[in-house]
Chains A and B, each alone.
Chain A
Amino acid sequence: MGAVAKNKNENNRENDSDRRRVIGKDNVAEAQSDEEVYPSGVTSHACSDSESDSDYLDSSEDGEFEGNQSPVDSGAEDSDSFDDEDDDKTGNDSGLSGDEQGNSDENKSSEQPQGGEESDSSEDEVAPRNTIGNVPLEWYKDEELIGYDITGKKLKKKERQDKLDAFLASADDSKNWRKIYDEYNDEEVELTKHEARLLKRLLKGKAPHVDFDPYAPYVDWFKWDDAIHPLSNAPEPKRRFTPSKWEAKKVAKLVRAIREGRIKFDKPKEESQVYDLWAGESSSPTKKSGHLAYIPAPKPKLPGLEESYNPPPEYIPTQEEINSYQLMNEEDCPKFIPRRYTSMRNIPAYDNAVKDTFERCLDLYLCPRVRKKRLNIDPESLKPKLPSRRDLKPYPITCYLEYKGHKGAVTSISTDTSGQWIASGSSDGTVRVWEVATCRCLRIWEIGEVVKHVAWNPLPELPILAIVVGADVLVLNTGLGSEEDQKQVEELLQVGAATSLDDKTLSVSWIQDDRYRYGAIKLQHFKTVSSVEWHRKGDYLSTVMPAGESKAIMIHQLSKRLTQRVPFKLHGLPVTSVFHPTRSIFFIATKKNVRVYDLLKQKLVKKLETGLREVSSIAIHPAGDNVIVGSKEGKLSWFDMDLSSQPFRTLTCHPKDITNVAFHRSYPLFASCSDDCTAYVFHGMVYSDLNQNPLIVPLEILRGHSSSNGRGILDCKFHPRQPWLFTAGADSLIKLYCH
């Protein structure tokens, strides 16, 4: 029975394959007509498609064949198989695949009754009887079963036949050579003739099917002959083998986008979308940025827990607290006193409703409609970073010495080059020379008139003083030098009668004045002189007569006893004049500006615009490129001459007039003194590097002088070698501030 079914099946297969071939041919024919449309790759695909189609057909036909089977067919098959009998014996054990095939066929036949319509397109779908799975069979060698079926019953192994019986049976059965024991499923399988033949062919290395001819003649389905034109004879277009320009551009664009980060591969995490409930009524001004600054109305206070009709007990004030509220100010006591009601029905009408509404309206009406922009910057951070004062030592700090003796305000002081002596002029009509170290007054000259200015000759071998008294300038011999020096000075201060010309052109007369000890020369001017200044070489001195108009500033040469006016046109009222400490440059300070002249080229070099109301004093840095100017409004301007004609920095420190400013000769210090009885000491470091701005640090406020007639400190001078500051006060004292 089983064998018959198998044969039948086998037949089907045979037919199938034939049919398939035919159908395949048809398909190809169909494809042929399509070929002009599809490229070559596609046609093959179509072929495979058609094959699968044929499979379908196959299966449907299978069912038909199963129904009505012709025995003739099977007989023919049988006869066919006999020819190959001998050969098949040898290929017995090697036909594993065939074995399986047969096996599956058998299964199929057992399933046939229930699954008639079921497709058996794939023979592999038939499950093996064995259910142990794909494990080595030795594991089940000693077991009785080979697994369990789907209902849980044991699949028993077949009883082993006696070897002798088996041999006898095999001897009897002519088909025994076609039987194989399937160890896996524990059953005997009989190969069909067809299978045996297949195996034999496989062993020989031929195609398994008899009918398959590997060397079939090639059928050229393309009709070459009739076509007038070849299908395409054109050479391959260039675009086929050159890289596409547009693709390259596209790639470049993408690369650029990736580099710039426009394309991101790891997407940012999706943030949970939150619905902003208050978005509509938000107070952010950005919403209405198109309009004028929108300021939302102030919001009313939201009700709190205490305004509930049934607040928690801790909110309810005690009777004492309520009583205390009545004693309190109306503004201090709370607006609302929480009370407890048993239900909402018991809440009385709110008696302040109208008042509250009114106040709310007032709030809306009176609320400020101007937005104040407030910068949240720490004011300390805006201060420039200055070095610590401790690092800038030494500088004058404390006053230890006082030079007492003058009866009137000390108007001017001047130190000699060595720093051993200091000269002072006073409104009591005396000029005094003091010893710096001991405060001893060494010399006194009674002039009889207010001494406005004193200036010590910068040469150490010429211990002479220039003093301003009214319209005269006196050049005094102090008598302090050695004998040789004294001789030289005496010669210098001899004015013969011939030299003292009373010319109109000169307007200054040199007169020997022997009233004073050690000798002196008087230079009579025609107007009141305000200040006198020595040139660094000690031979020239300049005097300033504010009312002298075109002859306001004169330069005198001591050795030749010559006087000349400065060869420049003067603008405004001159206040002071200073020589440059190293070069032949001359500074003239008028009330508003400072003009810088070159004495050799006789021309204006620069005009410093102070921007001050009234200049009172000027001092030149010993290097010569920086100038400080003090003004009567208490401002101190620092000019960097290389930088600009505007002040580099203006320091507003004194509440009253600055009377004098001074630079130290060697230490980086400068000072200003004022009528407010204080002197300020600054650190003023000038760097040789032109790119670096001068460093100005206020160091110390020196107090100690007392005010007299509204005047405070009238003059200040640094000690030439020590970081000490002398101040001359209107209280007739000279103070020395030491480091």
Chain B
Amino acid sequence: MDIDDSNEELSRRVQVRFITKLEAPLKVPSASIAVPADLTRLGLSTIINSLLKSKNSDWEAEPFDFLIDGELVRMSLEQFLLAKGISVEKILEIEYIKAVVPRKEEEPSPHDDWVSAVDGSFPGFVLTGSYDGYGRIWKAPGLCTYILDGHSDVITSVSVINQKGEENIDVATASKDRTIRLWKVDGECHGNHPGKIRAFKILQGHNASVQSVAAETSCNMICSSSWDSSIKLWRTNVMDMDGEQVSVKKRRVNIKDEETQTEEEAVSTLLGHTQCVSSVVWPQYETIYSSSWDHSVRRWDVETGKDSLNIFSGKVLNCIDVGGEDSALIAAGGSDPVLRIWDPRKPGSSAPIFQFSFHTSWISSCKWHDKSWFHLLSASYDGKVMLWDLRTAWPLSVMDSHEDKVLCADWWRGDSVISGGADSKLCISSGISM
């Protein structure tokens, strides 16, 4: 009897050794310990915290996430081992990382109307576009420094072009008034009142509302997609703007006191989509990725203007982003609650390699983390922003700060998630440790 009991005890325990790539204060001794098999992530996290506390008495508890064989543990240890068919005989090596969850919810920044676009690629500020036709620059949560005034209709997309200098930042906004406007933003803040900025360049040529704008890495070009099912490439030429101004025919647009505004034609047009091109990204110099309402994801070769890849998804697509491993994975979401990720390097198959379906409505936005290969976020019309890790099918965290549809979301400063929605708020969830 005694022997049996002890056996049972043993069988319910697992020999584990915790390893990590984290820095010194977060390291625990690498000796193997026996832990109960029915522990979940929370239990394992408590063990790590208690281990750390035993080393450092004023340690504050912190959530951790656990990886076994490169996969995140999302159920009890026993179930996980059973599901993966991992033997309990050997000492189990569990890697722990900091849990990717937002720790702080910033005060929402109010807008006058729905927030339709957000860009956090410049760490100094957050750029938003709104349904009232204004773009806004937020230096900090709740602190609006500039208002980009000029569009006569809804701003659908915003993009920071120039990330090099601190002083003069160029941004582009696309609008339903069929134009794209380029703005110069002073990186520094001056005064409390939000200053109004006028666009220095208006790009006209689309026949229908522009849905998306994306800047090239070297910042000389931008591309835009529109409801007229075309993608247009534009030259920004921020540097020799004056020279351009001479050559380009000057025309007054709407506002009387506009002198520095110039207009420009598109450099080239990429035709191929049959319906509204909802989103474009330009991750490398020669390739543009686009998603469209004609259910396709395409990769365009900028030099030739031909699409070199065409993935048929079967659903209307609203957003696309490229990132992950080697910046090659395509994530896209659309008219159903499934976030799909394709690997175009995989030959002979256009089936998505990952499908995350935890949302309950259309997905409006998806963005890869620019440092991590595994993390991406998605925003949906169900009012939730979710953080995903490719190593598990469950969301890492669900941010439910919006009361209405979330229309846009982005990463900011590498540790915050910014999102705007139909409740006219810009929400910032910060303190995400990668």
* Contact surface of A with B, Cβ cutoff 8 Å: 394, 400-401, 418-420, 437-440, 482, 721-722, 724, 738-739
Contact = CB atoms under 8 A, between A and B. Distances in A.
Most buried by B among A401, A437, A724, A738: A437
A738 B178 contact: no
B208 A420 contact: yes
B332 to A, nearest CB: 15
Contact of B381 (A400, A420, A722): A400
Contacts of A440: 114, 131, 154, 422
A435 to B, nearest CB: 8
A420 B314 contact: no
A418 B293 CA distance: 11
Contacts of B381: 400-401
B1 to A, nearest CB: 49
A693 B276 CA distance: 35
A736 to B, nearest CB: 9
Contacts of B209: 420
12 contacts: A400-B361, A401-B361, A418-B208, A438-B422, A439-B405, A439-B422, A440-B114, A440-B154, A482-B208, A722-B293, A722-B335, A739-B315
A418 B208 CA distance: 10
A722 B276 CA distance: 11
Contacts of B276: 418-420
B52 interface: no
B280 to A, nearest CB: 16
Interface string B325-340: 0000000000111000
B293 A721 contact: yes
A400 B362 contact: yes
Contacts of A437: 278, 318
Contact of B275 (A400, A401, A721): A721
Given A440-B154, A738-B316, 10 more contacts: A400-B335, A400-B336, A400-B337, A400-B381, A401-B361, A418-B227, A419-B275, A437-B278, A439-B405, A722-B293
B161 interface: no
B361 A438 contact: no
B266 to A, nearest CB: 15
A438 B407 contact: yes
B405 to A, nearest CB: 7
A438 B278 CA distance: 12
Interface in B281-316: 293, 314-316
Contact of A482 (B114, B131, B178): B178
B207 interface: yes
B427 to A, nearest CB: 18
A400 B405 CA distance: 11
A482 B293 CA distance: 21
Interface string B201-213: 0000001110000
A403 B40 CA distance: 42
A420 B314 CA distance: 19
A420 B227 contact: yes
Contacts of A721: 275, 293
List the 5 closest pairs (A to B, CB-CB), nearest first.
A400-B361, A738-B335, A400-B362, A420-B227, A721-B275
Given A394-B314, A401-B381, A420-B227, A482 B207 contact: yes
Most buried by B among A418, A419, A438, A738: A438
A395 to B, nearest CB: 12
A721 B294 CA distance: 9
Interface string B119-136: 000000000000100000
Interface string B181-193: 0000000000000
Nearest to B207: A482
Interface string B384-427: 00000000000000000000010100000000000000100000
Nearest to A483: B178
A739 B131 CA distance: 28
B229 to A, nearest CB: 9
Contacts of A401: 361-362, 381
Given A400-B335, A400-B381, A418-B227, A438 B405 contact: yes
B251 to A, nearest CB: 12
B26 to A, nearest CB: 42
Interface string B140-164: 0000000000000010000000000
B336 A738 contact: yes
A739 B338 CA distance: 13
Interface string B354-374: 000000011000000000000
Contacts of A438: 114, 116, 405, 407, 422
Nearest to A721: B275
B98 to A, nearest CB: 35
B146 to A, nearest CB: 25
A722 B316 contact: yes
Nearest to A399: B361
A721 B278 CA distance: 15
B65 to A, nearest CB: 31
A41 B209 CA distance: 121
A183 to B, nearest CB: 103
Contacts of A724: 335
Interface in B96-131: 114, 116, 131
Contacts of B278: 437
Contacts of B337: 400
A723 to B, nearest CB: 10
A724 B114 CA distance: 25
Nearest to A738: B335
A394 B315 CA distance: 9
A439 B337 CA distance: 17
B423 to A, nearest CB: 13
Nearest to B276: A420
B362 to A, nearest CB: 5
B143 to A, nearest CB: 27
Contacts of A739: 315, 335
Most buried by A among B316, B337, B405: B316
A724 B337 CA distance: 16
Nearest to B318: A437
Contacts of B407: 438
B294 to A, nearest CB: 8
Nearest to A437: B318
A722 B314 CA distance: 11
Contacts of B336: 400, 738
A400 B336 CA distance: 8
B7 to A, nearest CB: 50
A400 B361 CA distance: 5
A400 B314 CA distance: 17
A689 B154 CA distance: 48
A440 to B, nearest CB: 7
Contacts of B114: 438, 440
B430 to A, nearest CB: 27
A227 B181 CA distance: 146
Contacts of A394: 314
A171 to B, nearest CB: 124
Contacts of B361: 400-401
Interface in B202-230: 207-209, 227
B211 to A, nearest CB: 9
Contacts of B154: 440
Contacts of A418: 208, 227, 276
Nearest to B315: A739
A394 B313 CA distance: 12
Contacts of B293: 419, 721-722
A697 to B, nearest CB: 20
Nearest to B278: A437
A478 to B, nearest CB: 13
A420 B293 CA distance: 11
A724 B336 CA distance: 12
Contacts of B318: 437
Contacts of A722: 293, 316, 335
A458 B33 CA distance: 73
Contacts of B208: 418, 420, 482
